[in-house]
Structure 1
Amino acid sequence: MGLAALAVAGAARADPPRVSPPEWLVRPDGEDLADSYPGLARALSIEGRATISCAVDVKGRLQDCVSPTASPQGLGFDKAALEMSRLFAMRPRTVDGEPVAGGTVRIPIRFTLPPPGGASAIPEPFVTPAALDAARRAARLSGIAGRLARGLAGDLDRIEADSADPMVRAQGLAALTEARRQASPQVAEVVARSIAAQLSPAEVHQWVSHMNGPAQRKLDARGPELTRAFAAAQATHTQIVLANARDTFCGRQDCNGETSLADMRALAEAPEAIIDKPRWSRAPSLAEARAAYPLAAQAFRLSGWAMLQCRVTQGGGLEDCEVVAQGPRRLGFGAAGLKVAASYRLDPDLLAQGAAGDRVNLPAVFSIERGTPPTRVRPRPSRALALAREIVRAQGIEAQADHAADLGQWLLSHQPGLDAAVARDAGEAYRGAVIADLPNLLNDHAAAYAAVFTEPELAGMAAFLRSRAGHLATGRDDAFNVRLAQALGEIQVKADAQARTAFCAAHVCAAD
């Protein structure tokens, strides 16, 4: 659901110093508002507003923001508005032409939703009761209706970490969950009607016969065995992909983590550290170190290090940290070292001796075992293997691998704080490795099928997947998918409206 409007304006306070009127250099747009919109309020179609009050620093950035008002309360509009404060920047006030810090600004933010609307209804063809009953059996036996109903309820998981107050969130989720649970029979019915609208009675009968046939019964019985084989194939694929991606990436970028002459010179020229033998009362946990580990380096199993120099605070923490040297140089280990530096605390005994204010060298080492990629056993070519490959393709493994490649490339290419060229090379190396190894992944999955089914059984399964019914069963019929998506969208809108009515009977849902 998109967002219709973002209203922001600055209103100056009466108390000096003031920022009036605010001259915005950067402020969030509708897409930023959509990203920040509280998930529970969005699901329940509740609009709101909030005000943030912030100090303005010398660069025009907002600091020390608070949200004195928000309405309706408890739905997270105040926290969402505070999250958006980092997206504002204004021209700072000046004294004698020089920018100075100071002043406050109040920003009202209005959270609005677009008016309801949707695609035109798809006409329902006439379907005989017998044909609809058969379509209901196909929907039930194939598991499509059950998966979609579970997905309708499972979509609420994203709200669990929402910014709403815990009690309000629990009550809102309960209303949404109950409304969508009650919609399950409607999901099953729209799946059946969509099947009946796309397939002839003979094609529906073919689908039901396939689901009741011996090959399907064997698939149900041997399902856990196949699942384990597929998981093993995927694990092998992942390890080989990452190893090959690392080789490609390190052919383009320097992955050497050894200390160079330039590093030694940087260490020698750095300001002298006074605390030469620091003792720490707290150091980063394993989880904190993992969270700081550069994503590409961790994925490609590359070790690295950084040497920081920091100042000790009165409480024993570290501030004003600078990266003196790092290796490999461009893979983000310096930024990772700065992250873990926040977790260190100097030993109280050293603080008692006057260590506060002194500088200290802090080595940050990130190490990961590389291991050896597994060796594949390539299956021997056969007609059974060729049929199994056709089955695996029909089930969409290539599309899944392509999606995984795109997602991995995006994640590796959008690493904050990493050199853009390095991030781009990491993403391209990963995607290329996934696509290059896809034929082997297909073979591994096909070999798992060929080990369970006879050649005639594989031939029957492949023949069904070539049929129109097989295309519907595996999500390869665009007309069926469009019809189903629209019908499910209508069910969700009605269920969420029902949930909103139930929720708003016990809560204030209108903005002041």
Structure 2
Amino acid sequence: MLTVFLAVASMGATMADAHIDTKPDWLVKPTDEQMMWVYPQAAAKSETPGYVQLQCRVAVEGNLKACGVLTEEPQGMGFGEAALSLTPQLRFRPALRKGQPVESEVRIPLRFSVPKDGPAPPPSAPEIVAKARRLVLAMGLDSAVKAYQERVLGGLYAEDRASTFTADERKALFEAAQEIAVEYKPKLIDTAAEVYARTFTPDELDTALAFFEGATGRHLVGQQKQVAGDVGTALRNQWKEIFKETRGRFCQKAPAAKGCVLPGAS
């Protein structure tokens, strides 16, 4: 799978309306992530960049309307449609005439680019990875991986029950997913170990191992499930208090709002 990073380049707006004192300007531009999600699939696979120029009307509220594609390069790969799909998320400061916002026209250039991936980081020394793997296991991350897989499998099975699959087909799907989970668990742990090996120095790994493989560390890991449950309960109770206080503060600021009754009011 191609890893892509999409940059917004040459962003700007050219004003086509006359008698405007202040031109429209960007308020919310498309992000790299937004452009990544709309990048045409065939173009991404072939590492083909694209350029689109849109023409839109900027409403007095700052949203875009009546957008059309003026230029699309290369044509026929979906870059125009991709650019148009971004327009509901874009916002402008509207043009001003005598200090009042007015509708105006803008031309918006969007450049879709797929830079070449950089070189992969060199693998860590085997002895460092072995230490990191010990740390991953000592910290209980293998249990976290298992719990995550179980949640994913449970969700898959629950969603699939509402599908058109038969009972036998659902059972086969669930069994296949379980088999894959068992096969991939060591790979996930190894991946985590490689990350730890690249992130921490050997001395830091030794220090962490000494703690998590010691009595205090083992006790801490063993209590994680109970502590997580207790913290979750405490946070839920705290959230109720926060909600109550927020509602009270809101009613102080907007006493006429529906459902707000201030103390002493009759």
TM-score by length of 1: 0.30
Higher RCO structure, 1 or 2 (CA under 8 Å, sep 6+) = 2
Q: Looking at CA atoms only, which structure, 1 or 2, has the larger radius of gyration?
A: 1
